Structure 1
Amino acid sequence: MSHAVCNSCAYYEDHAVQAAAQLSDAGLCRVNPPVAPKEEGRGVWPTVQKTDWCGKYATLFAAE
């Protein structure tokens, strides 16, 4: 399943707006709620590389 990578997942957002540096091969994973690091007051989504993968890969959003 080499195609089941972050950049083809329904929960991937193709820009790293919350990363310290803008990375061309990174984006945000929005499969879970954001987490608030102790040193910051606002939540952030994990920054992932386009070629990363996890067990929650989805091509479509779950029905509401």
Structure 2
Amino acid sequence: MNNVTCSKCAFFDLHSNGIQTPTQDGLCRFNPPVSQPSAQDHGLWPVVSTGDWCGHFSAGTTQTAAE
């Protein structure tokens, strides 16, 4: 199961919503951004750790070595 982590998913993004996060964190781009604090702010993508995993991961969504 350790081969299906967020860091190996095509929907994992190393950006961090403009806030400082530990180096092991990134964004999950599978679902749309979550609610925004106010109407003038942008929505926020869920922050996940590289070692996290979920049921959306599949072999068809893994990143290739060329990326």
TM range (shorter): 0.7 to 0.9
Residue 31 of structure 1: how far off its partner (Å): 0.2
Please give the root-mean-square deviation of Cα atoms over the aligned residues, in Å.
Answer: 1.7
Runs (5+) with no aligned partner, structure 2:
62-67
Q: What is the alpha-carbon distance in structure 1 between the residues aligned to residue 11 and residue 59 of structure 2?
A: 8
Distance 1:10 1:59, change over 3 A: farther
Runs (5+) with no aligned partner, structure 1:
none
User: What is the TM-score normalised by the length of structure 1?
Assistant: 0.75
Counterpart secondary structure, 1:7: helix
Identity across the alignment (%): 36
Instruction: Give the number of aligned pairs.
Output: 59
Work out whether 1:45 is the aligned partner of 2:45: yes
Q: What is the alpha-carbon distance in structure 2 between the residues aligned to residue 59 and residue 14 of structure 1?
A: 20
- 1:43 partner letter: G
* 1:5-36 C-alpha deviation (Å, 9 max, x unpaired): 000001000232x1632320000000001112
Equivalent residues in 2 for 1:1-64, closer than 5 Å: 1-16=1-16, 18=17, 20-37=19-36, 39-40=37-38, 41-61=41-61
User: What is the TM-score normalised by the length of structure 2?
Assistant: 0.73
